[in-house]
Amino acid sequence: MTVRRCPRCNQTYQAPARYCVNDGSLLVEESEPPPGATPSHTPRPRFDDLSGAAAFGPPYLEAAPTVNPLSTLSGQVLDRRYRVAQRLGEGGMSYVYRAEEIETGRIVALKILLPRLSRDPASVERLRREATIAMRLDHPNVCPILRLGETSDRLMYLVMPFLEGEPLSEHEARRGAFSAAEGVPLLIQICQGLQHAHELRIIHRDLKPENIMLVPPAEERPGSEATYRAVVMDFGLAKERRAGPELAKLTATGIVLGTPEFMSPEQIRGKPLDGRSDVYALGVLAFELFSGQLPFPGKSAQETMIARLRGHPVKLRQVKPDFPAKVEAVIHQALAMDPAQRFGSMEEMARALEAAHSPGLLGRIFGR
């Protein structure tokens, strides 16, 4: 059993917990509780996968465990096109596998919709929308969709490029908080990818460390985190700003989509969103990247949401006193409760990060 411990108070937890409910610190993994640690307990799981329409708030809803044949597809051939290899992950809507495209030999990732959802018109519409949106994306810091497929027995799947690397969330948990020198270049890359999406009028709406893949270069310099390429993944909750009434049906009144810890105040309230909501989420992600904890600590997802609606984030330098004040100011502006007080675009936020930390970096990143 995986045991995770708070490095500050020594409280221990069982997976999938990632944060300490006492102080918001990122948990570290260990094989067994250290001497003198508080007895372990399992708090409510963090809402890391709300890829289907999920209502939350008390009482929390937890799906009953089920055994699905999609969990054992390794070694099989899907749709006479793809030779399925190992499973990469699973979520509330799908299983993800590494696979080989038989005709070309190309290695891809397959996202396979659960059969029960393949029979649900709203879920199918959502998958088709994800594919339609993501097929328009073409940028090195964004993961696109290559095709949408459907087998003869109506099993639906998405085909994506396979990326060698690991999610930012796993990287953080393994190595701890980043320094400004390590993290700012990654944040600028994320800004660049999201700027591309926003220029296509696409808002991500579920930005979080689990949805950022760190891809090492072909020739990685040991110990240099800045050499990683950051790729924004999973546009499953993405929304076109000009979307019509068909999307409104998918986000019905009373249903909130996204991950609570990273939602903007307007997203929590169910208000209309624009790219500044992603700016806010990136501010939360940046705060966690550099501190190992969230800017709005709380004992539950509800408490963190309430804190966000009050608009008083913890200052980064309260947690990490030696952190550069100018970079802290950029993150604090991204976390403004009023969207008008945030950066107006991802490129504007990237330029602020560059001015605060690495003059001249944006010329190499944006090529301008």
Domains in the chain, please, with CATH? 1-45 (no CATH), 72-161 (3.30.200.20), 166-365 (1.10.510.10)
Annotated catalytic residue 206: yes
Amino acid at 333: Q
Q: What is the pLDDT of residue 113?
A: 84
Note the pTM of the prediction, 2 decimals.
Answer: 0.73
Amino acid found at 93: M
Cβ-contact 253, 270 below 8 angstroms: yes
Query: Distance between CA 54 and CA 60 in Å, rounded?
Result: 10
d(CA 175, CA 97) in angstroms, rounded, equals: 26
pLDDT of residue 298: 76
Given a contact cutoff of 8 angstroms between Cβ atoms, the answer to whether 350 and 195 are in contact is yes
- Give the whole-angstrom CA distance, residue 88 versus residue 101: 16
Rounded to an integer, what distance in angstroms lies between the CA atom of residue 67 and that of residue 65?
7
Strands (E), the chain: 3-5, 12-14, 28-30, 77-78, 82-90, 94-101, 107-113, 147-150, 156-161, 166-167, 202-203, 212-215, 229-232, 239-240
Residue with tokens 């240099």: 224
Which member of 206, 234, 274, 338 is catalytic?
206
**Which mean pLDDT values do the consecutive 10-residue runs of the chain (368 residues) have?**
69 67 62 44 36 30 50 89 91 86 96 82 79 88 91 88 92 92 96 96 91 81 65 72 39 47 88 94 96 85 77 90 96 96 97 84 50
Q: Give the tokens for residue 215.
A: 């891809």
Taking Cα atoms as reference points, which of 154, 165, 75 lies closest to residue 112?
Answer: 154
